[in-house]
């Protein structure tokens, strides 16, 4: 991305008058120079952005496919003696669907901005209504993206464990959540809480290097921030692998429906019979006189 930005900036023509305005150090004159430099370069920036997004999507798809295949296969070998038989094409299809869902989420965010502009026009501005509409649509888009991305990520595990195709893995993921809702929610909740605790600790610790920014050299402050970030990413990756392992264990060892009820029924001791009770005696019952 930085290479694309540098190459784009290298194509912009800068005249002598633009250089003169940039060297004046006056914000208004510098703004005029930048506007003149960027004038007419919108189409080139749009073409470069489209090409960059396509290349990044393809690169992420390849890396995510190989990474998920390697990690899930290693975990599957630990739980099962059967070697995983899956197709990289199916895994790549799921990752392409994740890219499409992310692009749809970006379009949804742009739609939220457009709706906010419609609610609050220039003739009759209403910032409160615009903010309410924007946040509502934004939360809906984020929730839809999170659910879809989570299901596609879970489906990739079923590609490794069961050798399913892309759409078959999605159907199997939905069935798994329906049949094993309790274990799946438990794994997601506990690892999600652990991730939240790690984020809270990292965000608190990162304040220490920033607090000494005026007294320590910039390299030391940057090194402290980098160290905290690396430790945080290390913990997050460990938790992510733990959640992936939990999901694979649930897939390979599904709990049958009603297992707890059956176990509880087998734990109940047999009833004891007291043969001294009159109701259990062998003497035939005879009605009392007058009845």
Beta strands in 22-136, from DSSP E residues, in sequence order: none
Nearest to 170 by CA among 106, 79, 90, 76: 90
At residue 285 the predicted structure's pLDDT band, cuts being 50, 70 and 90, is low
Nearest to 118 by CA among 130, 135, 132: 130
User: 160 pLDDT exceeds 60?
Assistant: yes
- The reported pLDDT for the residue numbered 105 is 93
pLDDT tens for residues 189-239? 999 999 999 999 988 888 887 887 777 788 888 888 889 899 999 999 999
Token pair in block for residue 287: 């009605």
**Is 101 exposed, middle or buried (CB count within 10 Å of its CB: 0-12, 13-18, 19+)?**
middle
CA dist 198 and 244 (Å) reads 18
Total-model pTM: 0.70
Nearest to 144 by CA among 111, 169, 116: 111
- The reported pLDDT for the residue numbered 97 is 92
In degrees and rounded to multiples of 5, residue 274 shows phi and psi of -100, 105
Instruction: Please give the mean pLDDT across all residues of the chain.
Output: 80
Which of 25-34, 93-102, 157-166, 279-288 has the highest average model confidence (pLDDT)? 93-102
Higher pLDDT, 101 or 52: 101
The whole-number average pLDDT for the span 148-170 is 86
User: 130 pLDDT exceeds 90?
Assistant: no
pLDDT tens for residues 168-199? 889 988 898 888 888 899 999 999 999 999 99
Token pair in block for residue 207: 């304040």
The whole-number average pLDDT for the span 79-84 is 63
63-67, 99-103, 283-287: the lowest-pLDDT one: 283-287
At residue 264 the predicted structure's pLDDT band, cuts being 50, 70 and 90, is very low
Nearest to 51 by CA among 95, 13, 1: 1
């Amino acid at each position: 991305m930085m290479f694309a930005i540098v190459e784009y900036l290298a194509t912009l023509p800068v005249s002598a008058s633009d250089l003169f305005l940039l060297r004046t150090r006056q914000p208004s004159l510098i703004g005029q120079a930048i506007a003149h430099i960027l004038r007419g370069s919108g189409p080139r920036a749009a073409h470069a952005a489209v090409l960059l997004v396509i290349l990044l999507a393809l690169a992420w798809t390849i890396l995510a496919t190989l990474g998920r295949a390697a990690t899930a296969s290693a975990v599957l070998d630990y739980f099962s003696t059967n070697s995983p038989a899956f197709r990289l094409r199916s895994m790549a299809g799921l990752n392409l669907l994740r890219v499409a869902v992310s692009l749809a989420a970006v379009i949804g965010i742009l739609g939220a901005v457009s709706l906010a502009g419609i609610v609050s026009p220039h003739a009759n501005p209403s910032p409160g209504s615009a903010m309410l509409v924007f946040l509502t649509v934004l939360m809906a888009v984020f929730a839809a993206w999170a659910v879809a991305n989570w299901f596609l990520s879970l489906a990739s595990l079923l590609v490794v464990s069961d050798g399913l195709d892309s759409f078959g893995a999605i159907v199997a993921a939905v069935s798994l959540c329906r049949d094993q809702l309790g274990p799946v929610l438990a794994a997601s909740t506990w690892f999600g809480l652990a991730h939240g605790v790690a984020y809270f600790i990292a965000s608190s610790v990162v304040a220490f290097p920033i607090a000494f920014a005026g007294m320590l050299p910039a390299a030391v402050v940057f090194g402290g921030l980098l160290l905290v970030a690396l430790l945080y990413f290390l913990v997050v990756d460990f938790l992510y692998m733990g959640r992936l392992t939990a999901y694979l264990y649930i897939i390979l060892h599904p709990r049958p429906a009603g297992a707890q009820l059956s176990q509880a029924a087998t734990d109940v001791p047999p009833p004891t019979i007291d043969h001294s009770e009159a109701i259990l005696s062998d003497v035939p019952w005879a009605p009392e006189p007058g009845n």
